[in-house]
Amino acid sequence: MALFLGISRLLFRSVKDLSFQTAKIHRVKGKWATTRPKHLPTRLALQHFDATYSVQLGQLWPSVRVALLSERKYGALFNNFSNNPDLEKLQAQGCGDFISNGEDPTSSEHNSEFGAEEDSSSVSTVSSHVDRQQQSPLWLSPNIKCLVFPRGDITRFKPARPDKFNLLSYYLMDAASVLPCLALGVQKNHTVLDLCAAPGGKALALLQTQSVRFLCVNDSSVSRTSRLKRVLHSYIPKPLLTDDKLRITSFDGTMWGEIERNSFDRVLVDVPCTTDRHSLMEDDNNIFSRSRVGERRSLPQLQVELLLAGIIAACPGGEILYSTCTLSLNQNQGVVERAIQLAEENHGIQLQVVSLRPLVKKFRNTFHFAPDLHLGEMVIPHLAANFGPIYLCKLRRLT
């Protein structure tokens, strides 16, 4: 009996020792497993933006910063090719089409806010390479509809439903992303190139105009091009996706000038950028990852090459719209200035900056625009209208 008790005590002590060691091992592994990286990409992005944008935007940066770190607001790009009655339902919920509800840009009250400023800013300060900015009338396609909830209303859109032909009724995107398509001013029988088209929202908006005779959509990434194709097939009827109306390619956009020169009436160059919102909110696929430092630093050069390729692809008299979703001065005005200079020096192409002030005037009740930009226009995030950032600048090839 004494022997049995002794063995029992020994086994119990061994089990206790083993459980203690096992718990300790698990405790160490758990600590290792939950240790967060010291340099999260989102944290690095915020540090970079604080250092850069606080100087660039000055007193505007604190409010822009709060908006960027808050939930973004979406718009619903309505699909004219769908037979789904979601438009009426969305309007009943308080949504409105910001395009048709915009202000009249020719109204006299425009002068009270923009008049003196517009006279002084109409002459570009880029360099001698840019002629006087062209004050062109604003032409908007009557067929593009993008519904948004009123300012301050953060209601979310429900996912779009397919109609009987399996076409979705609307595409959710940042409503400010529609502005480059509107500013491009596509008119009947135009040929259009969307040089960096994925994921496809802007290509969809261009097709909604129902004015494009031929649309070429390109993206250098094969995987992103596959996603682009899926988006188009989810919204556009098959008869409109034939080769004589639409071409989808996956070429290096910087080389497009060697593929097709002087070919398109309108060119959209929506370049890869730091994508400020994504960089602050998502660690996955973040340009501020330590492994992507070189890629991020080379972005302005890539953007210049893409814009220059788009300029060469446009026909004389054609127009080019450059856009990004970053606040960065180096990726916005800096890229446009450099591309204008290289177009003249290396290719003998003269360009004119087309003023987008009428666009700002028409949509200033929907978006918050940055003041006093010497080149182009920019939607900046604001809590009451949390769209953007979107930068856009329009150029015209002179004949």
Pair 349, 311: CB distance under 8 Å: yes
Query: What Rg value do the Cα atoms of the chain yield, rounded?
Result: 26
Binding residues for S-adenosyl-L-methionine: 196-202, 219, 252, 270
The region of weakest confidence among 30-39, 111-120, 223-232, 325-334 is 111-120
Residue 45: per-residue pLDDT: 97
Question: Residue 31 has what DSSP assignment?
Answer: H
- Say what the pLDDT of residue 239 is: 92
The Cα–Cα gap between 76 and 170 comes to: 6
With the CA atoms of 86, 154, 274 and 181 taken in that order, what torsion angle do they form, in degrees rounded to the nearest 10?
40
Amino acid letter at 101? N
What proportions of the chain, in percent to the nearest 5, are helix, strand and coil?
Answer: 45, 15, 40
Tokens coding 193? 């190139």
For residue 356, the SS3 value is: coil
- The dihedral through the CA atoms of 210, 212, 213, 216 has a sign that is negative
Query: Which two three-digit tokens encode residue 190?
Result: 């135009």
The predicted pLDDT at position 124 comes to: 45
Which carries the bigger pLDDT value, residue 99 or residue 152?
99
Residue with the bigger pLDDT between 306 and 28: it is: 306
Rounded (10°) angle between helices 41-57 and 61-68: 150
pLDDT of amino acid 8: 52
Q: How confident is the model at residue 21 (pLDDT cuts 50, 70, 90)?
A: very low
Residue 325 designated active-site: yes
Residue 98: the pLDDT is 96
Distance CA 151, CA 153 (A): 6
- Residue 3 is predicted with a pLDDT of 46
The pairing of strands 75-78 and 377-379 is unpaired
Which amino acid is located at 326 in the chain? Answer: T
What is the rounded distance in angstroms from the CA atom of residue 378 to the CA atom of residue 391?
4
Q: What is the mean pLDDT of residues 256-269?
A: 94
Q: What is the mean pLDDT of the segment spanning 55-81? A: 96
Q: How confident is the model at residue 19 (pLDDT cuts 50, 70, 90)?
A: very low
Two structure tokens written together for 77: 């790009």
Instruction: Label residue 338 by pLDDT band (50, 70, 90).
Output: very high
- Is the pLDDT at 34 greater than 70? The verdict is no
DSSP 300-340: HHHHHHHHHHHHHHEEEEEEEEEEES---TTTTHHHHHHHH
Over residues 329-353, the mean pLDDT reads: 97
Report the pLDDT value the prediction gives residue 271, as an integer from 0 to 100. Answer: 98
Q: Kindly give the residue spans of alpha helices, DSSP state H, lying in the chain.
A: 2-34, 41-57, 61-68, 86-92, 110, 116-121, 179-184, 201-208, 222-235, 256-259, 276-281, 293-297, 299-313, 333-347, 357-363
Residue 211 — very low, low, confident or very high, per pLDDT cuts 50/70/90?
very high
Mean pLDDT for the stretch of residues 312-337: 98
328 phi and psi angles, rounded to 5 deg: -65, 125
- Identify the pLDDT of residue 15: 43
Q: How confident is residue 399, by pLDDT bands cut at 50, 70 and 90?
A: confident
Mean pLDDT, range 2-27, rounded to an integer: 48
- Look at residue 205 and tell me whether its pLDDT is greater than 60: yes
pLDDT at 109 over 70: no
Segment 48-61, tens digit of pLDDT: 999 999 999 999 99
* pLDDT tens per residue, range 141-199: 999 999 999 998 989 999 999 999 999 999 999 999 999 999 999 999 999 999 999 99
Q: What percent of the chain has pLDDT over 70?
A: 83
**Mean pLDDT of the region 237-263:** 93
- The more confident residue out of 47 and 114 is 47
Residues 89-94, mean pLDDT to the nearest whole number: 88
Burial of 125 (0-12, 13-18, 19+ CB in 10 A): exposed
Neighbours of 23 (CB within 10 A): 10
CA–CA distances in Å: residue 14 to residues 10, 17, 168, 396: 6, 5, 66, 84
136 to 124, 125, 357: CA distances (angstroms): 15, 19, 10
Identify the CA nearest to 177 among candidates 78, 323, 64: 323
- Judged by average pLDDT, the poorest of 17-31, 107-121, 134-148, 275-289 is 107-121
- The Cα-based distances of 123 to 317, 324, 377 in angstroms read 20, 23, 15
**Share of residues in the chain with pLDDT > 90 (%):** 75
Tokens of 246: 């639409």
| Active-site choice (95, 216, 273, 325) | 325
